[in-house]
Amino acid sequence: MTHPEPSSFPRPAGTRYWELPPLILHPFSDNRGPELLVECSRAQMMLAGFLPLESSSKEQLEEIVLRGRVCEVRMLYYVGLDIDRWLEQCVEVAAREPALKDARLSRGSFAGLLVNEPPPHIHDKLNTWGVADYKALFARALGLNAIFETAPDLETVRSGFLMDYHRYADGFFRAWNEANAGVEATADAFSFDLYASGEYSRILERQWEMDAESGPQAS
C-alpha cells in the first residue's frame, strides 16, 4: 500500500510515513454478552410498543434493559483500555524519534488519528468487522475509560446514567480530548495496523516459526 508524503512532519529516512505500534483489541465480552444485548434490544422494543409485552412486566423489562446497557458500557470500557495502552505506546515512540520529540504530539494527537482520520486500510478492516460507526465507538470507549477505574456494574452506576450513557460518554470524550490536546497527527504522516488479539497472536507465532527455521545452521 502506498502512502502520500507527510504534510506536517519530516519524512523518516527511507519511508513514506511514520509507522506506529499496532492497535490490538482484546475480547471484551463475557459468555452472555451477545445474549444480553439481544435481550436488551427486544425489551426496548416491547417497552416502546413495537412488540407485545408477552408475560414480562414493565419493571422486568426495564431491568433487562439496564443489564444490557451495563454490558454495553463494560464492552466500551475494555475497548478503551486497549486504546489507552496504544496511545501511551504511540507517545513513547514519538518521544524516541529525534525528528518528532519536539513536535508536541500527545495522546490526544493519536486519538484524533484513530477517531477522526484513520488510515484507509484501518477503515476498510473495521468495515469488514461490521463496525460501521467506529468513530463513536472509539470516542465513547475513551470517554468511559477516562471516568471509570474498573469496569462498572449495576451496583456502581445509576440507572439514569445507563439509560443515556451515550451522551455522557460523548461529553467525557470531549473533555478528555481537550485535556490531552496536542498537534494534529494525520493519516498522510502516520500509519498503523489493527488486529484482534487472536489474529495478532497467530501472526507472532508464524513469525517465531519463520525465525526458528531461518536461524543459525549447525556447521
- Kindly state whether residue 26 falls inside one of the protein's structural domains: no
- Kindly state whether residue 4 falls inside one of the protein's structural domains: no
Domain with 174, as residue range(s), is 74-212
Q: Look at residue 6 in the predicted model and tell me its pLDDT.
A: 41
- Kindly state whether residue 55 falls inside one of the protein's structural domains: no
Total structural domains within the chain: 1
Q: Tell me which long-range contacts 84-91 makes (C-beta under 8 A, separation of at least 24).
A: 84/142, 84/145, 86/21, 86/22, 86/23, 86/24, 86/110, 86/114, 87/111, 89/20, 89/21, 90/20, 90/21, 90/192
Q: Look at residue 26 in the predicted model and tell me its pLDDT.
A: 81
Mean pLDDT, the chain, rounded, equals 81
Q: Look at residue 112 in the predicted model and tell me its pLDDT.
A: 96
Position 24: which residue type? Answer: I
- Kindly state whether residue 60 falls inside one of the protein's structural domains: no
**For residue range 47-87, what is the model confidence (pLDDT) as tens digits?**
666 667 776 777 788 888 888 888 889 989 999 999 999 99
Dig out the grid coordinates for 56 from the structure. 414480562
- Kindly state whether residue 78 falls inside one of the protein's structural domains: yes
Dig out the grid coordinates for 54 from the structure. 408477552
In DSSP terms, 19 is beta-bridged to 191
In 3-state terms, what secondary structure has residue 195? strand
- Kindly state whether residue 20 falls inside one of the protein's structural domains: no
In 3-state terms, what secondary structure has residue 190? strand
Written as tens digits, the pLDDT of the chain (219 aa) is: 334 344 455 555 556 678 999 999 886 555 555 676 667 677 667 666 666 777 677 778 888 888 888 888 998 999 999 999 999 999 999 999 888 888 889 999 999 999 998 988 998 988 888 888 899 999 999 999 999 999 999 899 999 999 899 999 999 999 999 999 999 999 888 999 998 876 645 655 566 666 666 655 443
- Kindly state whether residue 18 falls inside one of the protein's structural domains: no
Model's pTM, two decimal places?
0.79
Q: Look at residue 167 in the predicted model and tell me its pLDDT.
A: 95
- Kindly state whether residue 51 falls inside one of the protein's structural domains: no
Q: Look at residue 174 in the predicted model and tell me its pLDDT.
A: 97
